[in-house]
Amino acid sequence: MLYYLSLWRESFSPLNLFQYANFRAICAALTALLLSIWIGPLVIRALTRMKLGQPIRGKEDHVHLLADLHGSKKGTPTMGGIMIVITVVISCLLWGVLTNLYLWLALGSMLAFGAIGFVDDYAKIKKKKADGLTSRQKLFAQALVAALVAGFILWNPTTRAMALTVEIPYTKLAPLIDPTGGAIIFCFFLLVIIGSSNAVNLTDGLDGLASGCTVSVAVVYAIFAYLTSIPRISKLLLIPHVPGAEELTIFCSALGGAALGFLWYNCHPAKMFMGDTGSLAIGGALGVVAICLNQELLLVVIGGVFVMEALSVILQVASFKLTGKRIFAMSPLHHHFEIRGWSETTVVVRFWILCLVFALLGLASLKIR
């Protein structure tokens, strides 16, 4: 919205600042951060007043050790992801170009996945159990939203040509092209969006873990979005040029700022949890951003911690079904290290360090080609 002040720059030259995506991105991040810190106490009081407390897995789930470790967290306000979604939306509306297609794709997917998470969180609270929607219900809802987004990207004239290709990071190889005209890439997009959403959801199990990791992933994609939007730089770095991608810089910066602001209240001991409302929204949005920037495969590197968490669950389930034995003491991976004796803070900080390493490896792909 404030971008349109730049139209009056001839009358007042400082208004020219609002034209630049890098300036607006910084402002979007600060807006989301400060807004989160400001409204945080209000959100916590509101969630507490409505008795929207987090159920904790207990003996009925055969995870006694986890119940012992996290029993004190029972009743901590959940659905705090509402704050992340609200602050991102407000920041993007203030600092984004409201006619930009990519901005609305990211915001729309965040809102849709956030709605799925909200229903899941509410079901958990209503049942007073750690299980809300069934796996099939949740997967169906995620697949429906992902299919709508993927279909729009694939068959919209503005985005179709680039959507049919997949960039291979760290190489100068030509992008892979879908020979079927969209069928394979459509399934690939579903995998990216649903996988990203669930990976962040699985990571959200310790105080500050998912929100802290979100910051570094969002920052890296903000940098990629900015570089991708400039023809000269994208050509120099051998990355695809995406006209209009600068508005994804605004979105990713706002997401990073919102996650950092949420971390203010989510660090150990957490005053509120993001719940599925936040984790599904963040993961779904990051998957859509990766697709819009034609950097889907790079999400595996930049979001390495999210991938590790998801893979630990997949491997654990597969191993138990095939051999009757478990690979990890418990999955997702962060619980394995907790049960092995690491303190919650130790696990979170070390995973943050890993996430920073993965972020740097992702940025290195700009030169390693």
Question: CA–CA separation, 294 vs 162, rounded Å?
Answer: 7
Check pLDDT > 80 for residue 130.
Answer: no
* Residue 271 within any structural domain of the chain: yes
What pLDDT band is residue 177 in, cutting at 50, 70 and 90? confident
Among the ranges given (7-11, 145-149, 241-245), the one the predictor scored with the smallest mean pLDDT: 7-11
- The pLDDT, as a whole number, for residue 57 is 58
Check pLDDT > 90 for residue 132.
Answer: no
The total number of residues shown for the chain amounts to 369
- The pLDDT, as a whole number, for residue 174 is 78
Check pLDDT > 70 for residue 58.
Answer: no
Crossing angle (nearest 10°) for helices 275-292 and 101-127? 160
- The pLDDT, as a whole number, for residue 67 is 59
- The pLDDT, as a whole number, for residue 66 is 63
Q: Please name which of 281, 295, 186, 187 lies closest in space to residue 237, comparing C-alpha atoms.
A: 295
Mean pLDDT rounded to a whole number for the chain? 91
- The pLDDT, as a whole number, for residue 61 is 45
* Residue 337 within any structural domain of the chain: yes
Neighbours of 355 (CB within 10 A): 25
* Residue 369 within any structural domain of the chain: no
* Residue 97 within any structural domain of the chain: yes
Q: pTM of the predicted model, to two decimals?
A: 0.94
- Give me the mean pLDDT over the 51-68 stretch: 60
* Residue 50 within any structural domain of the chain: yes
- The pLDDT, as a whole number, for residue 191 is 97
Check pLDDT > 70 for residue 125.
Answer: yes
Q: Domain containing 81: what range?
A: 2-364
- The pLDDT, as a whole number, for residue 62 is 45
Check pLDDT > 90 for residue 35.
Answer: yes
Question: CA–CA separation, 36 vs 23, rounded Å?
Answer: 20
- Give me the mean pLDDT over the 213-217 stretch: 97
Question: CA–CA separation, 304 vs 354, rounded Å?
Answer: 8
What pLDDT band is residue 63 in, cutting at 50, 70 and 90? low
- The pLDDT, as a whole number, for residue 220 is 98
Among the ranges given (28-42, 82-96, 118-132, 319-333), the one the predictor scored with the smallest mean pLDDT: 118-132
Q: CB of 191 within 8 A of CB of 297?
A: no
Q: Considering its fold, how many domains does the chain have in total?
A: 1
Question: CA–CA separation, 248 vs 104, rounded Å?
Answer: 9
What pLDDT band is residue 51 in, cutting at 50, 70 and 90? confident
Check pLDDT > 70 for residue 69.
Answer: no
- The pLDDT, as a whole number, for residue 202 is 95
What pLDDT band is residue 119 in, cutting at 50, 70 and 90? very high
- Give me the mean pLDDT over the 175-192 stretch: 91
Could you please report the per-residue DSSP string of 6-43? GGGTTTSGGGGGGG-HHHHHHHHHHHHHHHHHHHHHHH
* Residue 132 within any structural domain of the chain: yes
Check pLDDT > 80 for residue 124.
Answer: yes
Residue type, 127: K
Check pLDDT > 70 for residue 301.
Answer: yes
* Residue 34 within any structural domain of the chain: yes
Helix, coil or strand: residue 53: strand
- The pLDDT, as a whole number, for residue 56 is 62
What pLDDT band is residue 208 in, cutting at 50, 70 and 90? very high
Above pLDDT 70, what percent of the chain?
Answer: 94
- The pLDDT, as a whole number, for residue 54 is 67
Check pLDDT > 80 for residue 196.
Answer: yes
Among the ranges given (112-116, 125-129, 280-284, 321-325), the one the predictor scored with the smallest mean pLDDT: 125-129
User: Pick the residue with more confidence: 249 or 65?
Assistant: 249
- The pLDDT, as a whole number, for residue 60 is 44
Crossing angle (nearest 10°) for helices 275-292 and 135-155? 30
